[in-house]
Structure 1
Amino acid sequence: MTLKDRVKQATAEQPAAEPSTDLATQDPTLAWLERRKSLIARALPAHIDEGHFIEAALTSMGKLRNCDTNTIYTALMACARFGLAPDGVRAAIVPFGKTATFVPMYQGLIDVMHRSGKVRAIRVDFICTNDLWEYTPTDPSPKDFFHKPRVELPKEERGDVLLAYAYAWMEGGSRSQVVLLNRQDAIEIRDLYSKAYAYAESTGKRDSAWHTNFDQQWAKSCVRRLAKLVPTSPELVTLLQADVDADEGRPHIITSLAADPAPEQTDPGSSDQPATTWPAAAQPGSGRPDQDGGDEQ
């Protein structure tokens, strides 16, 4: 057998190559996002990594398949406007029925506080029973508060969580007031202001963020209150309002945002009731208002 014959025989014995599959073409929601990647990328601030943002957006699509695509576009553009990737750490896009809703996470609030240029660092953490700590609000800052976590102890030996707290150091060296919330404070905030929690309770699903990530929601309530005590900016004010909108089950609309330039056929109608998929939040202390109304889902 000649070399040419052997090559022909080897080629014939090889299995036919499987046709390549692009998941984006099979999933209508992913295909929809693929067609809008360049629009979203152009809306991103210069300091945001485009690749990370788009990857996070693609990952979010799975739980948004039943949402109206115009609301997905609005939520994604809100993420882009604030420079917060929808990665479950800085922001999330949460389905409320057929409405995709932008929800800033507490690390996102911290990021925007830093952007004012007046906040140097923000501390968010929990105080456990066996930690070393002291709080004397009548003493001058920063002598009024001290906390030393007992990290040398096994986690179970640190004891139950007593308090969540947050404070900020300013660029000039001063420190903000310390915000402390005990567990009962967090429960009252949840019960008074979280429609998502109330809905999850009423349906028996018990899968809101307050159900699945209570400690993170507790910490975020501290951060929201802290945001009222640090130098503010129009961006921070708008982001806090977006958080209130999310708690009310309303999509946050940016006034300069145009409608989806190429709307798709979508499911008609929308629901004010929250769906049941919530992202995990980052752990506090790894350095993420109450509006006297509204503290977070």
Structure 2
Amino acid sequence: MSQISNAIATRDEGNLVQQYRADFTQVLPSHIKPDQWVRVATGLLRRNQDLARAAQRNPGSFLAAMLDCARLGLEPGDTYHLVPMGGEITGITDYTGLVELMYRSGAISTVIAQVVHAGDEFTWEPGVTERPQHKANWFGDRGDMVGAYAYAVLKDGATSDVIVRSRAEIEKVKAVSKTAKSGASPWNQWPDRMWKKTVLRELAKTVPTSAEYRTLQTQATDAAAVQAPPAAPAALPAAPDDEGPIDAEFVDEP
């Protein structure tokens, strides 16, 4: 591609993001700086020409995926992936993005998600052990991936539901994925991450995530403020009688 063509492509990619800037700003969480987020999105398009061409051909699917990414407050190309497929762009939350949303809720202290290999020692007895026991030779040949699990430890020390899925169960999830057949799909580039994501998505249904938890907390606070009875006025000092005041009837001034 000539230098002139490169310059035109770069300009178009920048314009594509900038023209939707107001839409992104409206849905981005308050802790995300719109300028920085837009720069990251523009840089992603400039680095990935396949994605840029798909976005130019189908700006509607690009906008839908990017709005979803913005609403979640995730980073395009890092914790949220945009995969061009069949003339459309599909947005995929990375497993690290799911973990980030759980931590953001403020209710979780630890999230554990691991892939189990054939050479690992793995024990999980529901109703008997609180959490899975997993031993592995982390730096040696662990064999094929055979399953994955995930759980969270809440701030009060309680353990969430434990999600355990076998290889066969995870393969069923992959089989119905719209992007699994694409060479750019995370299923093909980072299969271990997608195995973790599969169990984390199930875990996310049982624990607070950012939007859910904060919304519920805000609603609860607002409801308490509306329903709380007005504060009773401070008691007034008792009027002294002819014999003089009784010590126990004094009310200290604030």
* Normalised TM-score (structure 1): 0.58
The structure 2 residue matched to 1:210, chosen from 187, 200, 216, is 187
Contact residue 164 and residue 180 of structure 1 kept, 8 A: yes
Indicate which of 121, 124, 131 corresponds to 2:120.
131
> Match of 1:73, SS?
helix
Question: Partner of 1:155 in structure 2?
Answer: 140
Q: Any conservation in 2 of the 1:64–1:72 contact (CA below 8 Å)?
A: no
Instruction: Flag the structure with more relative contact order, 1 or 2, with Cα contacts below 8 A and sequence separation at least 6.
Output: 1
Residue in structure 2 matching 1:59, options 43, 54, 60: 43
Structure 2 match to 1:175: 159
Moved over 6 A (4+): none
Q: Say whether 1:112 aligns with 2:101.
A: yes
Give unpaired runs (5+ residues) of structure 1. Answer: 1-20, 237-297
Find the counterpart in structure 1 of residue 73 from structure 2: 83
Structure 1 residue 211 displacement after superposition: 2.9
User: Is contact 2:17-2:38 (8 Å) kept?
Assistant: no
Residue identity matched to 1:155: G
Q: How far 1:28 sits from its partner (Å)? A: 1.7
1:15-26 superposed matches below 5 A: 23=7, 26=10
Deviation per residue, 1:58-99 (Å, 9 max, x gap): 233231323322332332222211101112x31122224333
Matching residue of 2:133: 146
| Equivalent in 28, 41, 48 of residue 12 of structure 2 | 28
Q: How many residues align?
A: 205
Q: CA deviation at 1:46?
A: 2.8
Cα deviation code 1:4-29 (max 9, x no counterpart): xxxxxxxxxxxxxxxxx994775423
Q: Which has the higher helix share?
A: 2
Contact 1:127-1:161 at 8 Å conserved across structures? yes
Contact 1:43 1:77 in 2 (8 A): yes
Q: Percent identity?
A: 28
Query: What amino acid is the match of 1:65?
Result: R
1:186 is aligned to 2:176: no
Could you list the per-position Cα deviations for residues 107-154 of structure 1 after superposition, in whole angstroms to 9, with x for gaps in the alignment? Answer: 222222223222222111122334343222231424xx2123323xx4
Larger radius of gyration: 2
Distance 1:233 1:207 in 2: 28
Contact 2:103 2:210 in 1 (8 A): no
Output the aligned Cα RMSD: 3.2
Deviations 1:153-184 (A, max 9, x none): x432x333332111101111011122122222
The answer on whether the counterparts of 1:29 and 1:65 sit within 8 Å (CA) in structure 2 is no
Q: How far apart are the structure 2 equivalents of 1:147 and 1:107? A: 21
Q: Which runs of 5+ in 2 are unaligned?
A: 214-254
- Residue 181 to residue 52, structure 1, CA distance change in 2 (3 Å): farther
